[in-house]
């Protein structure tokens, strides 16, 4: 009934996801062999690395990207495909932590990630099923009040695309009796993320960038001209950008220890009758609920319901992926009990202790960015562009992000997972109790 299909035979090297099975291009790129030189070498071909590669290629830089597996292998090619504006912490929290000036600067950039996606899709004619509109669903009156406060604060920073939704209006966006109201974001939306990152990679290549797959980096030697070494080759560059995020592994523990991989699970139904899927999500907006451990879902271009949720701190997955997500899907849409789950997969995103991205330097010419903490689709596009700006000598926006403090997780690697799980349990209980 719920056995997931495998997409790995269709698109080798990728997770067994619906995205991999339905990707526009399955052609692998060659691995790096020998010694090359570049203006900029980028480690990681997810959204951050490819966004930076495209920005730098547009500026005329000679760029080489090294990817351990395939372009979009990690979270960039496995996520829920939702364009959600802002960051994992709201601007009110940012203002309390870092002051009103920093909040104002981050507020100025908070819509840019989505704009970058839309602009690149149009400029490079990227076929990634781009659809406008997002709905935030509230289970309790408290969550509705918090959304209204969030909307008022967003509007102070120029975001006028938010509208509150009453309980009577919920059916305009989602046919479910679970919600008491919510908020729409007309500047949100959804995409096929793997097709987006691959389309951006092809755009960078059209401008001269070179991308090597199956080229895991084994060492990075600092210096006036850093050298990035893989198992079969090396790249000497003027600058290096480290964009490995949750899949960086043990390469650079000085930054890797300040983030934690967290898994999220996603599944896709078999194609549903067109009239049914349109009745469940009439506006074709993507949806995410307002709980601390949230569910998110949307329609796909071939009329599936793509439904995600669950969380595994430390990157641990449940033995049965659908056992976590399917019960919640059926609470939302009991009508789907007779339909099969055709794909189920998971992917890791990088979580920081502050839930704010961590950006900085390892040396004068080695930059890094990671830890988008669950808001990666838009934020990675923004921060990748900002990395490109910094290399080009325009470091004003980079300086804002790199000035934000970042901390190691309490308890180190031994206790960071249980302590984080305890915190998540507390917030989950608050959601259930409506407090």
Residue pair 258/407 in contact by the 8 Å Cβ criterion: yes
Instruction: Over range 376-383, report the average pLDDT.
Output: 97
Q: What's the angle, vertex CA 196, arms to CA 132 and CA 272, rounded to 5?
A: 60
Judged by average pLDDT, the poorest of 257-266, 312-321, 396-405 is 312-321
Q: With 90 as the cut, is the pLDDT of residue 409 above it?
A: no
Q: With 60 as the cut, is the pLDDT of residue 312 above it?
A: yes
Q: With 50 as the cut, is the pLDDT of residue 424 above it?
A: no
Residue that is written with structure tokens 């966006």 in the block: 173
Query: Does residue 197 sit in helix, strand or coil?
Result: helix
Query: Does residue 249 sit in helix, strand or coil?
Result: coil
Instruction: Over range 165-193, report the average pLDDT.
Output: 98
Instruction: Over range 230-256, report the average pLDDT.
Output: 94
Q: Which of 389, 392, 40, 433 is nearest to 209 (CA)?
A: 40
pLDDT of 426 reads 38
pLDDT of 374 reads 86
Confidence class for position 239, pLDDT limits 50, 70, 90: very high
Q: What's the angle, vertex CA 262, arms to CA 258 and CA 266, rounded to 5?
A: 155
Q: With 50 as the cut, is the pLDDT of residue 137 above it?
A: yes
Instruction: Over range 332-346, report the average pLDDT.
Output: 97
% of the chain exceeding 70 in pLDDT: 91
Confidence class for position 375, pLDDT limits 50, 70, 90: confident
% of the chain exceeding 90 in pLDDT: 79
Q: What's the angle, vertex CA 10, arms to CA 81 and CA 13, rounded to 5?
A: 70
Q: With 50 as the cut, is the pLDDT of residue 45 above it?
A: yes
Tens of pLDDT, residues 258-293: 888 888 899 999 999 999 999 999 999 999 999 988
pLDDT of 229 reads 98
Residue pair 182/138 in contact by the 8 Å Cβ criterion: yes
Q: With 90 as the cut, is the pLDDT of residue 119 above it?
A: yes
Q: With 50 as the cut, is the pLDDT of residue 108 above it?
A: yes
pLDDT of 435 reads 53
* Token output for 377: 């689709």
Q: Which of 161, 174, 138 is nearest to 284 (CA)?
A: 174
Q: Is 324 or 192 the better-scoring residue by pLDDT?
A: 192
The whole-model pTM stands at 0.93
Query: Does residue 54 sit in helix, strand or coil?
Result: helix
Confidence class for position 4, pLDDT limits 50, 70, 90: very low
- List, in sequence order, every residue forming a beta bridge with 105; answer none if it has no partner: none
Confidence class for position 423, pLDDT limits 50, 70, 90: very low
Instruction: Over range 200-212, report the average pLDDT.
Output: 98
Residue that is written with structure tokens 């309980």 in the block: 167
374 C-beta neighbours (distance < 10 Å), count? 21
Residue pair 288/184 in contact by the 8 Å Cβ criterion: no
Q: With 50 as the cut, is the pLDDT of residue 121 above it?
A: yes
Q: With 80 as the cut, is the pLDDT of residue 114 above it?
A: yes
Q: With 50 as the cut, is the pLDDT of residue 386 above it?
A: yes
pLDDT of 315 reads 56
């Amino acid at each position: 009934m719920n056995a997931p299909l495998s997409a790995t035979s269709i698109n080798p090297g990728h997770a067994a996801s619906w995205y991999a099975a339905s990707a526009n291009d399955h052609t692998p790129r060659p691995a790096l062999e020998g010694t090359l030189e570049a203006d900029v070498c980028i480690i990681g071909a997810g959204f951050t690395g490819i966004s930076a590669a495209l920005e730098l290629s547009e500026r005329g830089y000679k760029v080489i990207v090294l990817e351990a597996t395939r372009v979009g292998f990690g979270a960039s090619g496995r996520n829920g495909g939702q364009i959600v504006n802002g960051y994992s912490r709201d601007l009110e929290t940012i203002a309390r932590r870092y002051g009103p000036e920093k909040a104002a600067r981050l507020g100025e950039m908070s819509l840019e990630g989505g704009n970058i996606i839309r602009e690149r899709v149009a400029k490079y004619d990227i076929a990634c099923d781009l659809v406008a509109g997002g709905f935030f669903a509230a289970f309790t009156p408290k969550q509705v009040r918090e959304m209204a406060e969030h909307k008022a604060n967003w509007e102070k920073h120029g975001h006028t695309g938010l509208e509150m939704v009453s309980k009577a209006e919920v059916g305009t966006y989602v046919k479910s009796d679970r919600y008491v109201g919510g908020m729409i974001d007309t500047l949100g939306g959804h995409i096929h993320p793997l097709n987006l990152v691959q389309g951006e990679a092809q755009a960078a290549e059209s401008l001269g960038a070179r991308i090597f797959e199956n080229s895991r980096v084994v060492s990075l030697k600092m210096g006036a001209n850093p050298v990035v070494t893989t198992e079969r080759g090396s790249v000497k560059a003027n600058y290096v950008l480290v964009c490995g995020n949750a899949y960086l592994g043990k390469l650079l523990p000085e930054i890797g220890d300040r983030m934690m991989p967290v898994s999220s699970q996603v599944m896709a139904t078999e194609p549903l009758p067109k009239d049914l899927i349109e009745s469940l999500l009439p506006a074709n907006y993507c949806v995410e609920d307002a709980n601390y451990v949230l569910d998110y879902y949307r329609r796909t271009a071939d009329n599936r319901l793509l439904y995600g949720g669950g969380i595994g701190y430390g990157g641990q997955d449940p033995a049965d992926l659908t056992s976590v997500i399917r019960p919640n899907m059926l609470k939302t849409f009991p009508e789907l009990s007779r339909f099969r789950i055709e794909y189920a997969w998971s992917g890791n995103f990088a979580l920081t202790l502050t839930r704010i991205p961590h950006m900085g330097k390892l040396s004068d010419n080695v930059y890094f960015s990671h830890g988008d903490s669950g808001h990666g689709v838009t934020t990675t596009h923004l921060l990748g562009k900002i990395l490109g700006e910094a290399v080009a000598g325009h470091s004003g926006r980079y300086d804002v992000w790199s000035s934000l403090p970042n901390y190691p997780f309490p308890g180190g690697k031994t206790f960071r997972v249980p302590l984080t799980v305890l915190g998540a349990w507390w917030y989950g209980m608050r959601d259930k109790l409506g407090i």
